[in-house]
Chain A
Amino acid sequence: MEDALLLALQLLSATIRVATPLVLAAFAGLYCERAGVVDIGLEGKMLAGAFFSAAVASATLNPWLGLLAGIAAGVALALVHGFACITHNGNQVVSGMAINILVAGLAPTLAYAWFQQGGQTPLLPAQARIPAVELPGVEALAGIPVLGPIYRELFDGNNVLIWVTLVLVVATQWVLYRSRFGLRLRAVGENPAAVDTAGLSVAKLRYQALLVTGVLTGMAGSYLSTGHGAGFVRDMTAGKGYLALAALIFGKWRPGPTLFACLLFAFTDAVQVRLQGVVLPGIGVIPVQFIQMLPYVLTVLLLAGFVGKAVAPKASGIPYVKER
């Protein structure tokens, strides 16, 4: 019983750790897609955030400067996306794809030139990484049967960014449905002409949404390379940006269900790591590649089965051209 609880708690704890970058990226996508800008470049922005925060953290040994650099990189790329899609009415999927390819090349190219370690940054020492939050009272609660382990495994020792993400999730729910900015954001994604008629700038609102997207993706990347990991390695996002996008669609562009979808993907991933090399009764050992593709298969199945017709924000993907 005690062991089963511990295993479940470790699984949940791993789920939270894996889910954090997914949640940040999915909520990043939530802001811009609700404003009518499709962003398939979450992946690239995350990767850029991961590289630049690791590079700056490694040079200055200050994780907070690293975090800022990661956010700056995410914002810069979001602005590029905005410049192409909002200012010049470019194709949003193409722009996102271009950013992904650009960063997939740029990060290792710069890493190669700056650190001479084959396309990665040096391993970060502990003081250059974003710290975990040690909660008080772990010792005191350890004696209590169920509560003690839960407190220790789930709440203690989480990275700062995990707590920040939690706050952001709650804040997003409020901003989107309770604030003036959120109302305008949703309106500009559904009916930009109406927003325009009301005297608000469609372009400005969409740029604002993209700024939030940039900040969140930068944080997601920062978490990967300086919080969860200890340095940048090639392709370290490994499709997380796309999974986040899938979670967003599965969550039908709403904060709660999107969070749930991210946790579901993360849970699959946590289980996946545990399943590797385990002998299952009657089947034997499942080849590791099949276990690794579980999250992707799950995504396809979810999109095919459960979601049904996912209805995107009406104006999403369509450039807004003022009538003359």
Chain B
Amino acid sequence: MLLSGSGKGQPGAVPGWVGYALLPVLNLLAAFVLSGLVILVIGENPVDVLSLLLSEALGYPEAIGYTLYYTTDYIFTGLAVAIAFHCGLFNIGGEGQAYLGGLGAGLVALALTGWPWPVVALLAVLASALFGAAWAFIPAWLQAKRGSHIVITTIMFNFIAASIMTWLLVDVLIRPGSQSPETREFDPGVWLPSMDRALGWFGITIPASPLNLSFLWALACCLLFHVFLRRTRWGYELRTVGRNERAAVYAGISPARNIVVAMLISGALAGFVGVNEILGVQHRVILNFTGGVGFVGIAVALMGRNHPVGIILAALLFGVLAQGGGQLSFEYPTINRELVMVIQGLVILFAGAMENLFKPQVEALFRRRGTVAASNAGRG
């Protein structure tokens, strides 16, 4: 039965790229066909809408900047979900952890007016990691020690985070005399430089966009993620717990400790969304700046097969959807931003939950072809 991924050219074998390239592409196509149907129901031409979506996301340099800015968020939350997955946990709380991470980054930026930006950036990265990890710690501890269902507790912590942040922004951190619930703007000296400014120092000019240096930090996190998981003892322990908790216990590995460690790292990674959004783009703490990044992270991790390279590619895909989809509403009066969520939902459904949809047919096709080729070779 399990022939996928085994050696090349063997009779009846299915090449490995079918599993990690062809099937995801087929699933993606199915999701887009259904999205097209939804667009048809709304009364627009799906081909026009989807091609506009692509060109608004990748068609010109400024759009690419925006797309990569969204990609940054999704890399962080994708990695966050993935590390928890590797330990056998489902972290649906990325949303709340990212929200709190933004608070951490924002408090640092508010407190350190006048400091040089690299120091502020470093401390903000630390603070957002700390706040995000702290928010993940309680569900993690409850799961490890009390067996409380982490899916439910992390969802509840999203709601609690939303309430606390609303209270903080409405009653505590609000700029005096202001009506809208947000903090004062940070001192421009502490802003995380945007990519166009940073490249400007080296004499390279690109159009202005929200893309900022946290994109590089996201890429660095991918590398660190890989090293931690595959090259350290801690990563090995974490994966062992995820694969087989009982085997881990017999090997002297504590599941409880690793559950907490995985969730702390997960929360910290989700918290970095705050650096990108608050320190890099908004330059103040605002309401609901996360806008669903935690949930998209689940899709990113799934599509990326919990591997950093896959996560970067999947994050790029969702970045394209976010940027291109957001622009659609300007062109089409009947379409609003929520259409992006429809496409996201369908992509998650097909690429995540129905990943085996086409597998039997495709593998049968390849196996038949392989057998035919082998028998031909035998004859020739």
In the complex, whether A249 has a CB less than 8 A from a CB of chain B is yes
Given known A-B contacts A85-B353, A310-B147, A300 and B345 have beta carbons under 8 A apart: no
Rounded to whole Å, the gap between the CB of B310 and the closest CB of chain A is 16
Q: What is the 8 Å Cβ interface bit string for chain B, positions 342-353, against chain A (1 contact, 0 not)?
A: 111110110011
Please state if A289 and B338 are interface contacts (CB–CB under 8 Å).
Answer: no
Interface string of A78-105 (1 = CB under 8 A from B): 0010011100111111110111111111
> Interface size class for chain B?
35 or more
Q: Is the CB of B340 within 8 A of A91?
A: no
Q: Are B153 and A113 in contact (CB under 8 A)?
A: no
- Residues from chain A with a CB closer than 8 A to the CB of B224 are none
The 8 Å CB contact of B345, one of A83, A99, A239, is A99
Alpha-carbon gap, A242 to B155, bound state (A): 8
As a 0/1 sequence over residues 277 to 318 of chain A, the CB contacts with chain B under 8 angstroms (1 = contact) are: 000000000010110110011011001110111100000000
* Chain A contact residues, majority secondary structure: helix
| B354 lies within 8 A of chain A by Cβ | yes
- Kindly state whether residue B229 has any CB partner on chain A within 8 Å: no
| Chain A residues bordering chain B, tally (CB within 8 A) | 51
Q: Tell me if A112 is interfacial: C-beta within 8 Å of chain B.
A: yes
Render A115-146 as a binary contact track against B, CB cut-off 8 A, 1 for contact.
00001000000000000000000000000000
Question: For window 5-55 of chain B, which residues contact chain A by CB distance below 8 Å?
Answer: 38, 41-43
How many Å lie between the Cα of A246 and that of B340 in the bound state?
29
A297 and B152 form a contact (CB under 8 A): no
**A304: contacting residue among B1, B148, B151, B160, CB under 8 A:** B148
Instruction: Give every chain A residue within 8 A of B149 (Cβ-Cβ).
Output: 249, 303, 310
Cβ of A180 within 8 Å of any chain B Cβ, yes or no, is no
Q: Nearest-CB distance from A291 to chain B (Å)?
A: 9
In Å, the complex CA distance between A101 and B342 comes to 7
Q: Which residues of A does B touch, CB under 8 Å?
A: 40, 80, 83-85, 88-95, 97-106, 108-110, 112-113, 119, 239, 242, 245-246, 249, 287, 289-290, 292-293, 296-297, 299-300, 303-305, 307-310, 324
Q: List 21 A-B contacts (CB under 8 A).
A: A88-B354, A89-B356, A90-B356, A91-B353, A97-B352, A98-B348, A98-B353, A99-B349, A102-B345, A102-B346, A103-B345, A105-B340, A246-B156, A289-B167, A293-B159, A296-B160, A299-B156, A300-B160, A303-B152, A308-B146, A308-B147
